Chains A and B, each alone.
Chain A
Amino acid sequence: MQISIDERSPEPVFLQLITQIREAVRSGELKPDSPLPTIRQLAADLQINPNTVAKAYRLLERDTLIETRGRKGSFVHRDGKKHSKIDLGSQATSVLAQTIASLRATGLTDSEIRNAFTSVMKEYT
């Protein structure tokens, strides 16, 4: 399968990689257990920083779409197709939207919510 990146796109490159690999796993274009290129290879081919590919692979692994088998490299997870339907990013957006709606209902302004969110994020990072 072909994978493309567009540096002019507002979407970060690692997200572009995640979206396309997720879609390929979901559509069955990438079969379970099929090997993926190494981080260095994909970075060299796309002429991007290896850390960007590593980040995309790490997040795909977190979502159980791919798995790393030691020195053998990264492979599409056996249950990748099933997990590709679960979008943790969308789940987080939905939970945050509900939280923001309930906070607004209590009378908090957007800037107060934003400040609270930023301070919580700082605390947990």
Chain B
Amino acid sequence: MNLNIQVLLTSLVFASQIVVLSFYAPLRWRRYYASLFTRFPPEQYPRLYPLPRNDIERKLAIFRSLHLVIGVGAALTLSACLIVGASPRGFVSCMSVSSLVQVFLPLYIAMPLSARISQAFRAMPPPSVRSVELRHWQMTDFVSPSWIALGIAGQVLALGCAAVLYLYRPDTLGILPVGIGSAAVLSRMLYLLSGHAAFARPDPYMSQADTFRVRRRPYRLLFCMGAGFGALFAFVLLYNARLIRFDFSYIMMAFSVGMQVLAVALASLQDSDLDRRDFSVYRADSGAQATS
């Protein structure tokens, strides 16, 4: 009975993962671009589009097909698991692999496009009159001290677990990737906190408030996810070392739900940008005083 409930729960989470990550979030993403083109057409807002509209639309069409293929593939995997009556562990393994493909493959393929957009923005001539706030930005301006502490604590926990297990149980699975990953994230956090990092401008025209918001986003994500992933990876290592006993499928279900919530939150954040962001600075006839 317990097994059935577990299978049922896993398949429900797996199904919602397929719907959210491969259909719902990409749909919101496409709708965002569609409303962006409608509300702020490239003819009137040329500075908002460093790449030609056709180019962006072609890429969006490719992503639409990509998400569809991945989504259908994941749905077939789920169906196969149900048909062959896979064990809860088998279900969870398929769900985990599927979540990685659903999230990271489109992100990986989108990287050249993101790089091209950033490059094109950098190549655009900045307005001749530019204004900034003369202040020394610190990480605490973007992320609250409690989240900074939690983020560092999460990564220290993961790194500490990896180090201790390396000394006492070196055959534990996942020590090296967790150790390297946590060390890299922790180094990045400490470098940002040192005050020597320069915060880049997203584009030459963005208003002061929007620049602040856009700059704040990745740092918040870094520390919040640093805390969550640090705790998760520490748990996974302890589980792999058999120091704690827990049904691993629940961890992976929580991970999947977390990814889905994050995807929906990011999509909502992007949508809210349409109303909150000051797009007048991108108009062809704007006064073009960039601020940051």
Contacts and interface: CB of A to CB of B under 8 A. Distances in A.
Contacts of A30: 134
A72 B105 CA distance: 41
A38 B289 CA distance: 22
B196 interface: yes
A18 interface: no
Nearest to B211: A45
Nearest to B127: A7
B74 to A, nearest CB: 41
A101 B135 CA distance: 44
B292 interface: yes
Mostly, the B contact residues are loop
A44 B200 contact: yes
Size class of the B contact interface (CB-based, 8 Å)? 20 to 34
Contacts of A21: 134
A100 interface: no
A38 B128 CA distance: 22
Contacts of B292: 45
B195 A2 contact: no
Which residue of B126, B129, B131, B198 has the most chain A CB atoms within 10 A of its CB atom? B198
27 contacts: A1-B133, A1-B135, A2-B131, A2-B133, A3-B132, A4-B131, A4-B289, A5-B131, A8-B128, A8-B129, A24-B134, A30-B134, A36-B136, A37-B136, A37-B137, A38-B195, A40-B198, A41-B136, A41-B137, A41-B198, A42-B132, A44-B199, A44-B200, A45-B201, A47-B204, A73-B136, A73-B195
B133 A47 contact: no
Interface of A: 1-8, 21, 24, 30, 35-38, 40-47, 71, 73
Contacts of B137: 37, 41
Interface string B267-292: 00000000000000000000001111
A43 B200 CA distance: 10
A30 B131 CA distance: 17
Given A2-B131, A40-B198, A44-B198, 16 more contacts: A2-B133, A2-B291, A3-B133, A4-B130, A6-B128, A6-B129, A24-B134, A36-B134, A37-B136, A38-B195, A38-B196, A41-B137, A41-B198, A41-B199, A45-B201, A73-B195
B136 A35 contact: yes
B143 to A, nearest CB: 17
Contacts, number: 67
A66 to B, nearest CB: 11
B136 A38 contact: yes
Contacts of B199: 41, 44
B132 A2 contact: yes
A46 B289 CA distance: 11
Contacts of A2: 131-134, 291
A47 B136 contact: no
Contacts of A42: 132, 134
Contact of A3 (B131, B198, B204): B131
Given A41-B199, A73-B195, A46 B136 contact: no
A40 B197 CA distance: 8
Nearest to B128: A7
B26 to A, nearest CB: 33
Nearest to B291: A2
Q: Which 3 A-B pairs have the closest CB atoms?
A: A35-B136, A40-B198, A45-B132
Contacts of B198: 38, 40-41, 43-44
Contacts of A44: 198-201
Interface in B154-209: 195-196, 198-201, 204
A44 B198 CA distance: 7
A38 B199 CA distance: 10
A22 to B, nearest CB: 12
Contacts of A46: 130, 132
